[in-house]
Structure 1
Amino acid sequence: MEIRLVRQEEMQEAAELADSIFRDSEQISMAQGFPNLFSSVYSESLGAFDKGRLVSFMGLLPGAVRIGSAQLYTYSLGSVCTHTDSRGKGVAGDLFAAVRERVKKAGASLLLVSGTRSLYTRAGCRPFGLIRQYTLSREHAASLKEVSGGSYTVRPYRRGDLTAMHKLAAARVGAYEQSIWDLGLLIEARAYGSCVKLRHQTYIAEKNGVPAAFLVAALPEEGLGQVREGIRPQGAPIMMEWAGEAGGLAAMLAAVVEENQLKQFFVPIAVHEQDVHDLLGFLPVQEQRNMGTVLISDSRLLLEQLRPYLNERSTDHSLGERLSCEPAAEDGVTLQLPGLPGLELTGDEWTSLVFDRSEMPQHASDQWREALGEVFPLPFPHTAGLNYI
């Protein structure tokens, strides 16, 4: 069995394998829904080849997540599939080991995995992050308009809006890095939407004639059947991405449910977006994990890449220079600060501290709680937005 990068001329074979697992006759090809993942120019997707035949594929795409003024280099893993006649032979395990090794060598601190299978959790991938998902309907439209402040005009996207949209997206405190071109490509490709037979529709909220917010909604495709396996309720309309003023978001949400006569529309909001939670607090809400799992590939590198954010958020603006770590048992770390005893955390505790909650482990001293509570959890974006892999 040969495990290596998938070449461009082999990407069609990879897409056909993925389509046979994840698509039906009504859906576009995985290569169309995930164009970067099935391109050797952008991706570092790996395959297992048996006598020249691709028998297993793992789509691997490098990227970056901006946290304040810091930039975390990441990889996203998805479209994982194996031919039925090659399953149960350890091929996927060997391939995932190669993925982890590649990520580590590339200088990425995080691997974001779209799945939660034991294949990933056995290797240290963990559930992470918290999302508050609101459920709204046409009955909420009037209240949404009221909390928006009434100063926004909502209209559909038109050519020429991408520059303003990019400016709004770049102002987010925690988000995937997206160029102007990325925004247009990802909206057109509809990676998540194509998996659950939803189309994209983009809205702009203007204030005094200037774009103040945008929203990308994934809405039902008329005449299409159910998906074979839905990640969420099958075909349920959902907000994919937004940026800008919270009031503009409320105004656009009212327009989405009214214009499309939706009985139900899901609105996932990361927990750090408090201005939105303040506005939408009257809606039904459910707290849930971010989609998929995360592997902290290199904890020391993670802290190094986070240094600008740690400095800007800490009271003395020097935590990024002072905080360090060493590997510990159970995929954990021992955090170190001058003048304090080391704080040993298991892998679960470390991941939870970074992504999930502001509460410290019970054995953390007051000094550790004060120092870490200023910077963790990170304001991490929703992983099932436009950059879903």
Structure 2
Amino acid sequence: MPREIESRWEDGLRSLRRDEFNSLEALVEEVFRPGLVAEYPQFYTPDNVHGMRVVVDQGKVVSHVGCLTRDVSILGCTARAACLGGVATHEAYRGKGYATSLFADTIRVCREDRVDFILVSGYRKMYHRFGCRYVGKDWNYAIKTEPAGVFGTGKIELHPARLEDLCELGKIYRYETVRWIRPLSDLEAFVKGFLLKNRVVKVHLIRGSGGIRGYVVLMEPEHQGDRIAHVLEAAGERGVLISALGKLIKEYNLKQVNIHVLGHDSQFQYLLNHHGAKRNPVNASGTVKLVNFVQFMERMRPHFVELVGENSAKGLVFQERGDKLVFSYSGDEVIAENQGEAVEIIFGTRERKEEQILARGGRAAEILREIFPIPALYYGVNYL
């Protein structure tokens, strides 16, 4: 649990003020690296001060935990997620419990803002104590130079995305079954081009017969001799994306391209497997923490209806009993002892940790196996 807040800075546990933004920028770039703030324009902006929790001492921001909140669409259901990042404390102020207390305060704010879950880009013991867990059953594919020819290039052309392409980009992305619901400002930020982890990121539009058929956001190699690039995000027709990957390998003279594929995207997996791409099992983005368990389950109930029928879905009851999260059905219960166990049940784990809990849940466990795992979100260009 969070340490007791020191009385002398308790009043400073609050959201950032606009006139303190430069002080926050100085802290973040001192703790991480110069130029980092510019890499995340949708996050580090005065428009997001509500999501930035800080401790201020003598007018100076000395500790920060921030989040960016967005609606999301998961298999037709709308939920709300927050990305947490920028966890930083000035060296002279460490060991005082600032980050822990700010993390707890961020969760409180997210709960009040009706956020369902938080994505955290990393792992710390502190995150684990708050219920953050590695979840998801995704895949990382590696496409190497040698078999790239079998991917072909089809009758497509790649073009750099421009600001006038924003509406088309948004339209393509909206066809993805698991996605962020992005304002145009998010799209504008990454179309302009940006650095991420000191690497150039570019958006490539895929044009074919009938117009724009998809896009690939490519993080270029860190060093010229590296020749390994990473796809930060891709959307559109899966066959067209396959052709685009082959074309990018040739145009950039790459040795390898890596791409993260969601576990439920069976069509993309089939095509990549068919073309000889090698894959490794991976978790989804970072770690995930539940914020509003019952609310999230109610928001996903229409999806449960599609899987098990209306009567069975109506029979599902979700409750919080102290620290325990309870899934009930037909008189049986699956009880997660804490939020960490619950998030593993909902999104699933590569290690199948959830099976240890489901093994003692009777009929409730049977129906949970039918409705879970829910596909976990991948950051894409929303990475923090």
Q: Same fold (TM over 0.5)?
A: yes
Matches of 1:154 and 1:64, distance apart in 2? 32
Cα shift at 1:187 = 3.8
Per the alignment, residue 229 of structure 1 pairs with: none
1:253 to 2:255 alignment: no
- Is the alpha carbon distance of 1:319 and 1:205 closer, same or farther for their aligned partners in structure 2, counting shifts above 3 Å? farther
Per the alignment, residue 173 of structure 2 pairs with: 169
Matches of 1:91 and 1:179, distance apart in 2? 32
Uncovered stretches (5+) of structure 2, i.e. residues with no partner: 1-8
- Is the alpha carbon distance of 1:86 and 1:158 closer, same or farther for their aligned partners in structure 2, counting shifts above 3 Å? closer
- Is the alpha carbon distance of 1:376 and 1:163 closer, same or farther for their aligned partners in structure 2, counting shifts above 3 Å? same
1:122 to 2:117 alignment: no
- What is the total number of aligned residue pairs between the two structures? 364
Say whether the 8 Å CA contact 2:132–2:288 is kept in structure 1.
yes
- 2:295 aligned counterpart, secondary structure: helix
**Larger deviation, residues 302-311 vs 5-14:** 302-311
Matches of 2:106 and 2:23, distance apart in 1? 20
Matches of 1:107 and 1:322, distance apart in 2? 24
2:383 to 363, 372, 388: 388
Alignment of 1:365-380 (within 5 A): 365=362, 367-380=363-376
2:289 to 295, 300, 304: 295
Cα shift at 1:221 = 5.8
Matches of 1:262 and 1:235, distance apart in 2? 5
- Is the alpha carbon distance of 1:58 and 1:203 closer, same or farther for their aligned partners in structure 2, counting shifts above 3 Å? same
Matches of 1:116 and 1:286, distance apart in 2? 20
Matches of 2:227 and 2:249, distance apart in 1? 15
Say whether the 8 Å CA contact 2:42–2:185 is kept in structure 1.
no
Matches of 1:318 and 1:379, distance apart in 2? 23
- Is the alpha carbon distance of 1:112 and 1:320 closer, same or farther for their aligned partners in structure 2, counting shifts above 3 Å? farther
Matches of 1:112 and 1:280, distance apart in 2? 27
- 1:374 aligned counterpart, secondary structure: helix
1:66 to 63, 70, 73: 73
Note the alpha carbon deviations across 1:4-36, whole angstroms, 9 max, x for none: 100111111111111112214xxxx23322223
1:17 to 2:27 alignment: yes
Say whether the 8 Å CA contact 1:154–1:251 is kept in structure 2.
no
Q: Which residue identity does 2:359 align to in structure 1?
A: Q
Uncovered stretches (5+) of structure 1, i.e. residues with no partner: 225-233
Matches of 1:137 and 1:285, distance apart in 2? 11
Q: Stretches of 4+ moved more than 4 A in 1?
A: 221-224, 357-360
Per the alignment, residue 84 of structure 2 pairs with: 77
Cα shift at 1:274 = 0.7
Cα shift at 1:280 = 0.9
- Is the alpha carbon distance of 1:15 and 1:236 closer, same or farther for their aligned partners in structure 2, counting shifts above 3 Å? farther
Instruction: Using structure 2 for the length normalisation, give the TM-score.
Output: 0.87
Say whether the 8 Å CA contact 1:141–1:257 is kept in structure 2.
yes
Q: Which residue identity does 1:55 align to in structure 2?
A: V
- Is the alpha carbon distance of 1:223 and 1:245 closer, same or farther for their aligned partners in structure 2, counting shifts above 3 Å? closer
Cα shift at 1:87 = 0.6
1:137 to 2:141 alignment: no
Q: Which residue identity does 2:25 align to in structure 1?
A: A
1:153 to 2:160 alignment: no
Cα shift at 1:91 = 1.3
Percent of residue pairs bearing the same amino acid type:
24
